[in-house]
Amino acid sequence: MSLFDEAAMTDTAPSLDFWQQCLKELSFEVSEADFLRWLSPLKPSIEGGVLVLSAINQYFINRINEEYIELIERLVQKHAPASVQGVRLAVAQVPETPIKSDKPTKKSKVGTQIEESEQIEEHYTFDAFVKGKSNAFAYNACYDLGKKAGDSLYPLVFLYGSSGLGKTHLMHAVAHRYQKAGLKFCCLTKDHFFRITKDAFRDQKVDQLVKKICKADLLIIDDIHLINAKNAPKVADVLLTIFSEFSKNKKHRIILASDRQPTQLNNFDERFKSRFSGGLNLLIEPPDIDMRVQILEKKASVLNMELPKECALFIAQNVAPDVRRLEGALNQVHANHAMSGEPVTLSLVRHAIKDHVEARARAVNADNIRDLVAQYYGVSAKDLMGKKRARNIARPRQMAMALIRELTQDSFPEIGQFFGGRDHTTVMHACKAIEELRAEDIKVEKAYQALKATLEFE
């Protein structure tokens, strides 16, 4: 079954089956997030011997031209029949469909995204989100924010956690609610924010940019940890001005997403950290095995694919515990199922996600554990290997030693040697210290389990 609704073609028009092969290879060439956001939504057609890929707006076209067009052209040349002589991008002509209100009124208002905003994902709704222990607080806060659009108790919500755990999904779900309530939103990522700010400085229209963004009732900034405010002070000033303007209106709301908590955002100075910390800070943790199975089953139903329980469990056990990778693995299973015509069995699933299984087997080693712990705590791997004994270095070092001891076959002397030739008794002390802290401090226990889960399924 094709992933797209293709336009009717004449008998002489070439088949679009080759585009499915291109998509399959594209899914391996780029990250899962980029594939799902930019490439899979493209609608193919053949016009005059040229493959036309239609996107929802000119912003999509510009992004694809900048990042992916050369790769697309190479794959089309590789897989397309000789009658297809090129690739062209076009904006799709799609009539707007008004959003229906739950309680229809005589004049139902539909909100909009402001001009500077990025598109939000249509399928990122609260109904499509799988709620569990690891994300319950974040889900409830965002649901409340969307339900009481403009009247929530929280002027700023700061979501943080590892990549792919649903932060973007929740933010977009809130935006959908604002849109339905007749309010405006502005959704920005780091790259988009830098691009429009750079253009504003070039055209000397910074004030106009700020005013346009501040027309929104809801401001969303995704992956804010990627903004290096210290290296780009002018961009940081614009961001701070926007925050200040938003705070003047009691109805305005801001949602930010990051891979770490506000105090660990070393790219920002104290002005930003204080503002971020003053909001509602919500940690989203990796989903447990039962929740991963639920996510897979829910997404399989969207694909109209029957996914046996043992197959969902196998994927959940062998793929990193984040929604994007689970969805990517499920898409690979769906593609194998669709192309082969075979039912979804454990054998088919094993073949479809063999790369994930092999990657997991390679992931758990001392180097990877050290690097992940360093990233989690916002320190450098070099510091963990060095002689510094400051608490902000010693604690992560102990955490890394304890994880290496549990997840690898390395002995105490081997771990000590890995960490710059330390004595094995130092490693033993570190493991015992972490064990005691886990029993006494819930934050340490949560950090340990989150790191362990990520490492076991990386």
pLDDT of amino acid 437: 92
pLDDT at 108 over 70: no
Instruction: Enumerate the β-bridge partners of residue 44.
Output: 53
Q: How would residue 172 be classed by pLDDT, with cut points 50, 70 and 90?
A: very high
Q: Look up residue 47 and give its amino acid.
A: E
Average confidence score pLDDT of the chain: 81
Instruction: Enumerate the β-bridge partners of residue 158.
Output: 256, 281
Of residues 146 and 112, more confidence is placed in 146
CB 253 within 8 A of CB 217: yes
Helix (H, G, I), strand (E, B) or coil at 411: coil
- CATH class in words for 289-362: mainly alpha
Tell me the C-alpha distance between 386 and 368, whole Å: 17
Lowest mean pLDDT among 277-286, 321-330, 374-383, 429-438: 321-330
pLDDT of amino acid 397: 94
pLDDT at 429 over 90: yes
CATH number 3.40.50.300 is the correct assignment for the domain at 136-283: yes
Tell me the C-alpha distance between 412 and 317, whole Å: 29
289 closest CA partner among 311, 321, 259: 321
The percent of residues in the chain predicted with pLDDT above 90, rounded, is 14
Q: Supply the pTM of this predicted model.
A: 0.58
Model confidence pLDDT, tens digit, residues 343-373: 899 999 988 888 777 766 666 788 888 988 9
Q: Look up residue 277 and give its amino acid.
A: S
Model confidence pLDDT, tens digit, residues 126-148: 888 888 888 899 999 888 887 76
pLDDT of amino acid 107: 39
Q: How would residue 396 be classed by pLDDT, with cut points 50, 70 and 90?
A: very high
Decide: residue 286, CB within 10 A, 0-12 exposed, 13-18 middle, 19+ buried. buried
Residues sharing a CB contact under 8 Å with residue 188, sequence separation 6 or more, in sequence order: 116, 117, 118, 219, 220, 221, 222
Tokens of 142: 């965002």
Which helix (H) or strand (E) segment holds residue 203: the answer is none
Where b means 16+ CB within 10 Å and e means fewer, 428-444 reads eebbebbeebbeeeeeb
Question: In the chain, what are the domain boundaries?
Answer: 17-91, 136-283, 289-362, 364-456
Q: Would you state the CATH architecture of domain 17-91?
A: 2-Layer Sandwich (3.30)
pLDDT at 18 over 70: yes
pLDDT of amino acid 250: 78
pLDDT of amino acid 457: 54
- CATH class in words for 364-456: mainly alpha
pLDDT of amino acid 375: 84
Strands (DSSP E) contained in 336-434 are none
Average pLDDT value for residue range 70-88: 89
